[in-house]
Amino acid sequence: MTIVLRTKNISKDFKAVQALKAVSLDVSPGERVALLGHNGAGKTTLFRIILGFLRPDVGVVTIDGNAPGSAAARRDVSYLPENVAFPKVLTGREIVSFYAKLKSAEPAQVAVALDKVDLAEDADRRCGTYSKGMLQRLGLAQALVGSPKLLLLDEPTSGLDPLSRRRFYELISNVSRNGTAVLLSSHGLSELEAKTDRVAILRKGELVANAPLAELQHSANLPIRIRIRSNADDVESVHQQFGGQRINGTSVEFNCTQREKMERLSAIAQLGDAASDVDVSPPSLDEIYRHFTIEDPEQGGVR
């Protein structure tokens, strides 16, 4: 498969600070990759290198085989920063039209992009009258024109309400299905779990995780939470058999390892009427993120 974005052994120093350490990260056509990390982990530096604003001290970056910052790379990459800013006197349509010309996109793409982000009715209003959420959607519209091969999104749902966030990720899914590679940086971990194909985690400039969430859950070997819904008459015997803690007087919740899961579920199936339902919760993305960024949860030390 062709690689749209390839970074190989990228390192970057700022005087005494090593911002990136031998980072290698590829993104393929149609793939959605979440780039996670604490503030200062190196996400912004990596984005700036991909965009051609910075040069790595060591390593190679290519966008569809071209060097960052080259004319070909600029045509292939679209970027949505966390805080968008547009001239207040221009309308939404004028803003997107301007970026369409920069990308040599067909004029018809302007209306399509505005419609995709639900700004068609407000396209001829001045940007100075837009709310923060509307400005963020306008930023996404300018990023979508020109059919980019790579979409870089930095905290893209900042300022959006829950319904708008959902709509945003639907748009990203549609874009990726059409072959665009997506690299998305966000602190909203809970909203990313089912919306990306792979998770890459930076810690102090190093890439410490890079795999689909299911693989990270397996490699982290964190406990699985199981909750059995019982009844007032049987909950005590269920608690004695499985341990854990009683919840609301009629449920029992306990942890088990990946290896124990099937054995525990088999035992639950033998409970008969004593179990009315069971919930199985694998480690969340928040827990996976903490595992790969915290060395000792007891002491709070960084890996």
How does residue 167 score in pLDDT terms, banded at 50, 70 and 90? confident
Question: Are 67 and 174 in the same domain?
Answer: yes
Encode pLDDT of 201-231 as tens digits: 999 999 999 999 989 988 888 999 999 999 9
Question: Are 166 and 136 in the same domain?
Answer: yes
**Total structural domains within the chain:** 2
176-181 average pLDDT score: 92
The DSSP annotation for 122-183 comes to TTTSBGGG--HHHHHHHHHHHHHTT--SEEEEESTTTT--HHHHHHHHHHHHHHHHTT-EEE
Question: Are 252 and 200 in the same domain?
Answer: no
3-state secondary structure string across 221-248: CCCEEEEEECCCCCHHHHHHHHCCEEEC
Question: Are 119 and 177 in the same domain?
Answer: yes
Residue 297 lies in a domain: no
179-189 average pLDDT score: 90
pLDDT of 236 over the 80 cut: yes
How does residue 23 score in pLDDT terms, banded at 50, 70 and 90? very high
Burial of 238 from C-beta contacts in 10 A (0-12 / 13-18 / 19+): buried
Residue 295 lies in a domain: no
Q: Which two tokens stand for residue 22?
A: 């031998």
Q: Reduced to 3 states, what is the DSSP secondary structure of residue 102?
A: helix
Q: Report the pLDDT value the prediction gives residue 1, as an integer from 0 to 100.
A: 52
How does residue 191 score in pLDDT terms, banded at 50, 70 and 90? confident
Q: Where does a domain end: 175, 191, 217?
A: 217
Question: Are 92 and 143 in the same domain?
Answer: yes
CATH code (residue 244)? 3.30.70.120
58-63 average pLDDT score: 96
Q: Phi and psi (nearest 5°) for 172?
A: -65, -40
Residue 288 lies in a domain: no
Question: Are 136 and 249 in the same domain?
Answer: no
Q: Report the pLDDT value the prediction gives residue 76, as an integer from 0 to 100.
A: 93
CATH code (residue 157)? 3.40.50.300
Q: Phi and psi (nearest 5°) for 9?
A: 55, 45
pLDDT of 97 over the 60 cut: yes
Q: Report the pLDDT value the prediction gives residue 237, as an integer from 0 to 100.
A: 95
Q: Are 148 and 29 in contact (CB under 8 A)?
A: no
Residue 52, number of CB atoms within 10 A of its CB = 16
Question: Are 268 and 139 in the same domain?
Answer: no
Residue 124, number of CB atoms within 10 A of its CB = 11
Q: Reduced to 3 states, what is the DSSP secondary structure of residue 92?
A: helix
Q: Report the pLDDT value the prediction gives residue 62, as an integer from 0 to 100.
A: 96
Range of 55's domain? 5-217
Q: Report the pLDDT value the prediction gives residue 210, as an integer from 0 to 100.
A: 96
pLDDT of 301 over the 60 cut: no
pLDDT of 42 over the 60 cut: yes
Residue 303 lies in a domain: no
pLDDT of 298 over the 50 cut: no
How does residue 302 score in pLDDT terms, banded at 50, 70 and 90? very low
Q: Report the pLDDT value the prediction gives residue 194, as an integer from 0 to 100.
A: 81
Residue 294 lies in a domain: no
How far is residue 157's CA from residue 142's CA, in Å, rounded to a whole number? 15
Q: What percent of the chain has pLDDT over 90?
A: 71
12-26 average pLDDT score: 94
Q: Are 140 and 156 in contact (CB under 8 A)?
A: yes
Residue 139 lies in a domain: yes
Q: Report the pLDDT value the prediction gives residue 229, as an integer from 0 to 100.
A: 96
Question: Are 125 and 268 in the same domain?
Answer: no
Encode pLDDT of 261-283 as tens digits: 999 999 999 999 999 999 999 99
Q: Which two tokens stand for residue 18?
A: 């090593």
Q: Where does a domain end: 186, 217, 248?
A: 217
Q: What percent of the chain has pLDDT over 70?
A: 96
| Cβ neighbours of residue 4 closer than 8 Å, sequence gap 6 or more | 27, 28, 29, 63, 64, 76, 149, 150, 181
Q: Using the 8-state DSSP alphabet, how is residue 190 labeled?
A: G
130-156 average pLDDT score: 90
249-257 average pLDDT score: 94
pLDDT of 159 over the 80 cut: no
| Range among 140-149, 163-172, 200-209, 293-302 rated most confident | 200-209
In sequence order, the β-bridge partners of residue 12 are 20
How does residue 68 score in pLDDT terms, banded at 50, 70 and 90? very high
Burial of 85 from C-beta contacts in 10 A (0-12 / 13-18 / 19+): exposed
Residue 230 lies in a domain: yes
Residue 142 lies in a domain: yes
Q: Where does a domain end: 167, 202, 217?
A: 217
Question: Are 228 and 125 in the same domain?
Answer: no
Question: Are 63 and 193 in the same domain?
Answer: yes
Question: Are 264 and 145 in the same domain?
Answer: no
How far is residue 296's CA from residue 7's CA, in Å, rounded to a whole number? 30
Question: Are 198 and 169 in the same domain?
Answer: yes
Q: Which residue from 50, 53, 54 is spatially nearest to 64, judged by alpha carbons? A: 50
